Amino acid sequence: MAVKLAAFLALMTLAGCAFVDYRADKREVAAEQEHPPLGQFVEVEGRRVHALVSGSGPDLVLIHGASGNLRDMAFDLVDRLDDRYRVIAFDRPGLGYSDAIDPRADDVLTSRADSVAAQARLLQAAAAALGAERPIVLGHSFGGAVAMAWALERPDNVAAVVDIAGATMPWETGLATLYKVNGSALGGAAVVPLLTAFAPERMVEDTVEAVFAPNPVPEGYADFVGVGLAVRRDSLRINARQVNGLLPQVTAMKERYASINLPVEIVHGVADTIVPLEVHSARLAELIPGANLTVLENVGHMPHHTVPDEVVAAIDRAAARAGLR
């Protein structure tokens, strides 16, 4: 009897796992069909990088934040810039449609993550392959850390940096529990498939609203950016692992910021509770010689959507300081 019960329970477990995988597969396929790649693919060191290229003029690279993809930049910002810049928006490694750098980084049972330095080096090589040898580099949120790593890792291959609400300095408060769970080997294997298969639409909408708070989400943003892409299993795991590993990296980077010798424009909202101004940009501006910090009242974590004119102005200042305009 005990043997039969154990066999029955094992069969039910397998059936449950198969149903979860079926649901997750179905939702991932739907997300990719509804939000296919917008740009082209560049191969660098055997890894595929998704890039959207638009316009002409001085080269400008746009790097999105955590959980996102290049559609965040393409929603509105690219159209505001490509009349006078050659804009290159990238999916960061492992997110959107770009491959992870470490082929083991998207394994189920691992906590590996591509470092911001490795991401910066890969994106610099991808930009060069597209003919952008010395672009202005803009990074938002987690992308801000990648942009600063680019300035540290490839100083001869960047004209200026624009940091938008960047997570660039050490912090003391802990990360959200879901990051820790999704980024762990066990959570990545057991919890992430459940989220992909069953996360309700309202939960996703609440997450987007929290990122924009206290400002409203622009009409059509969630539909355009493809939040379903961020809820794919590999995307959830890779994003969590990257975020979990960021603190020691920016702690080490902090000691090198004073060596940056190029124009740096920083834009940050006072009402940002995701990446607080006083923890990150206010301190970063004190470390980089000549850095210019623009502080925005009543603006949260998404200035490039909430007050895009301020971000465009920062890009134009960076271009002028770099002698590109």
* Long-range contacts (CB closer than 8 Å, 24 or more residues apart) made by 150-154: 150/120, 150/123, 150/124, 151/260, 151/262, 151/264, 152/117, 152/120, 152/253, 152/256, 152/257, 152/259, 152/260, 153/117, 153/120, 153/121, 153/124, 154/120, 154/121, 154/124
Q: What is the pLDDT of residue 106?
A: 65
Digit-coded pLDDT (tens) for 258-312: 999 999 999 999 999 999 999 999 999 999 999 999 999 999 999 999 999 999 9
Task: Quickly state the pLDDT bin for 109 (edges 50, 70, 90).
Answer: low
Mean pLDDT of 16-26: 87
Q: What is the Cα 272 distance to its own chain's centre?
A: 17
Question: Which among 200, 186, 202 has a CA at the least distance from the CA of 23?
Answer: 200
Q: What is the pLDDT of residue 188?
A: 83
Domains, in order of start, for the chain: 38-178+246-321 (3.40.50.1820)
What is the C-alpha separation between 39 and 51, in angstroms, rounded?
5
Task: Quickly state the pLDDT bin for 173 (edges 50, 70, 90).
Answer: confident
Question: Which among 191, 170, 167, 196 has a CA at the least distance from the CA of 180?
Answer: 191
Task: Name residue 47's beta-bridge partners.
Answer: 44
Residue-averaged pLDDT of the chain: 91
Sign of CA dihedral 72, 75, 38, 90: negative
Digit-coded pLDDT (tens) for 32-60: 999 999 999 999 989 999 999 999 999 99
Mean pLDDT of 17-24: 89
